[in-house]
Structure 1
């Protein structure tokens, strides 16, 4: 912003108003103070502000009543509430109603300034420091302490060239974190190449990653460089790495160890200069135990591990994310939607979110597309929550996993737990078949129709 952000401070304690005024001025803001909620509303009518900081308990209009009045007249104006009489119930209620943050007195000045910068960022009015911080986050919007820890680790490891494994449920934002690592690394000027290992057929994945030479297989009418070479000097993001076939895991391990690749059908090794960030929703510890994921590859990929919590475990992020997605959707669709109603925010905070952040984005997108008002109503949010189909439609990797488990169960039922016969029908040897059973936690004894002395349990 070319001008200093204007901050309205509301407190019936004149000495605290003066103290807050000095701290804000020293931090580059332009503060105005008022000693009552009524005077604050009059001041806002006279001169707009970029954010409001108010005490909760005041004579006459208290902080929540002031927030309700501000939300009704200036719905996009962020409000931070301070109180010496705070409680968890007050904080939850304030957050659900759309208050940006609820802090207790005596307040911690760095924490207050941090929340103020976040409020201005969410509104779109960024100071230069805030803009730099937003740039470092690369679209990762959060106020959750758990997510802030993840971001802090991500920014620390970004300076190195260590491989990173990001673990988290589908839709939790793994690619955004990967982009933040890449964007803050010395490789940031190089390419960021994402690939979903679970969405590419096994027969094509090797060629996609390592390339091929002309004539290597039917249809290979010209040379292909492959994604490793496309990412040279930058970062290759291997999403759903847990779905990579064992045979290809061996080739990936060799590429990471030797820093060279061999295209399909090629003879000469090609040097590469690539950082690998991988991600998965699967439990790779269990996959290592059952042999479906190589232990040596796991340790090569997981030099640093980042674990993302699901959205349901960071509900304090829901109002912030919802407004972030609202701003994006209104720009895309050219709609004049300023904010969500307090009731709509409460409906979002209380929802289950099996599809995580991706589902929340989808819900807001639907609401903006159907909205005819400046404020998104609760009715549209609940309708979108009921109609949103993303959680019921699995990813390709999840669908394959479910089909494979169902297929194994049908084989074991058909053969009454005879592994040799079941493996033969599946076209696999007994060792591979047992490995598949272990991967899906299936016990042969559960399918036995009788005792077979020749069958190994």
Structure 2
């Protein structure tokens, strides 16, 4: 019933819990499945380009407009527009999105014609949007437009009963990608998977399964190698105070980069550090945040 409902859906949950997979799954079983599913990473679109990306533009309408571009809204016409990391939109960009959602019309930059658009909106956020509304960082009117139904997805470590079915589904997907016979998990591998906390959620699980798949023989997976992480924890105890402090600083910033997909504003909000301080840490460890986007 949710798949074909006209109401907008908002998924909330930690990075890596599978919000994008659920959005695609909803689209694939809806009446819109034969039309486009257009995913948009809101954190990757600069505020100055949001309107042109959403509405499109005519060739020559501004510097750099070397061709006609129909925009993401018209590209998703008849289908689903998936707005990932919607919490990262600036307030001006939120206003432009709200106007589109209210009118369901777009007018490309440099063009007189107005186009009607019929699409389904599914949004996702790794932070509480209602908290962002309370902090005056997200428009309340936009929130109620996109959160017709809010589905909170718990982290993988809190869904122990789901871990093995998800792992087996991922293995089927990996096997198809590699064009090989479907791999399977032995009881010992399943035990290892269930006992590991998976702080990186489904994304981390898939990476570990892919590694195990490539190292397996005959599709049989006996274990999942998490030893690097466990060895890392043991080695930390042998470091001096200053070495441990430096290691913590690097691990902390890298974990935040993974969690926020390289979003400096969000890292600043979570850590309490200024953007300047964050960039100094990145420079010290020669880390490029774009590698995490």
Q: TM-score, normalised by structure 1?
A: 0.51
Question: Which residue in 2 is equivalent to 1:292?
Answer: 137
Deviation at 1:230, TM superposition (A): 0.4
Following TM superposition, by how much is the alpha carbon of 1:242 offset from its aligned partner in structure 2, in angstroms?
Answer: 0.7
**Counterpart residue number, 2:85:** 240
Matched residues in 2 for 1:201 and 1:302: separation?
Answer: 23
Aligned to 1:407: 274
Poorly superposed stretches of 4+, deviation over 3 Å: 264-268, 334-338, 383-393, 395-400, 408-411
Q: Quickly say closer, same or farther: Cα 1:237–1:216, change in 2 above 3 A.
A: same
Structure 1 residue runs without a partner (length 5+): 1-155, 412-457
Q: Which string of whole-angstrom CA distances, capped at 9 and with x for unpartnered residues, describes residues 75-96 of structure 1?
A: xxxxxxxxxxxxxxxxxxxxxx
| 2:208 matches 1:343 | no
Deviations 1:11-55 (A, max 9, x none): xxxxxxxxxxxxxxxxxxxxxxxxxxxxxxxxxxxxxxxxxxxxx
Report the CA distance between 1:392 and its aligned residue.
Answer: 6.8
Larger of the two Rg values belongs to structure: 1
1:401 is displaced (CA, Å) by 1.7
Distance 1:245 1:227 in 2: 18
Equivalent residues in 2 for 1:315-334 (5 A)? 315-334=160-179
Query: Which of the residues 59, 66, 69 maps onto 1:214?
Result: 59
Say whether 1:381 aligns with 2:225: yes
Q: Does 1:396 align with 2:261?
A: yes
Could you tell me whether the CA contact under 8 Å between 2:265 and 2:275 is conserved in 1?
no
The superposition leaves residues 363-420 of structure 1 with CA deviations (integer Å, 9 ceiling, x where unpaired) of 1001111223643223x53347669999575243544421575226869xxxxxxxxx
For residues 163-218 of structure 1, the C-alpha deviation after alignment (integer angstroms, 9 at most, x for no partner) is 11111111111122212322232222221111111123333332222112223332
Instruction: Report the equivalent of 2:282.
Output: none
Residue in structure 2 matched with residue 102 of structure 1 by the alignment:
none
Residues 334-376 of structure 1 deviation map (CA, whole Å, 9 limit, x = unaligned): 5567422322211111111111111111110011112236432
Other structure's SS at 1:406 match: coil
Q: Which residue number in structure 2 is paired with residue 365 of structure 1?
A: 210
Q: Assess if the C-alpha contact under 8 Å between 2:213 and 2:219 holds in 1.
A: no
The residue correspondences of 1:175-324 to structure 2 (distance < 5 A) are 175-324=20-169
Structure 1 residues 275, 336: closer, same or farther in 2, change over 3 A? closer
Unaligned runs of 5+ in 2: 233-250, 279-293
In the TM superposition, what is the alpha-carbon distance from 1:219 to its structure 2 partner?
Answer: 0.8
Question: Measured at CA, do residues 280 and 193 of structure 1 come closer, stay the same or move farther in structure 2, by a change above 3 Å?
Answer: same
Over the aligned positions, Cα root-mean-square deviation in angstroms equals: 2.8
Aligned counterparts of 1:165 and 1:202: Cα–Cα separation in 2: 22
Larger RCO (CA under 8 A, 6+ residues apart): 2
- Could you tell me which residue of structure 1 aligns to residue 242 of structure 2? none
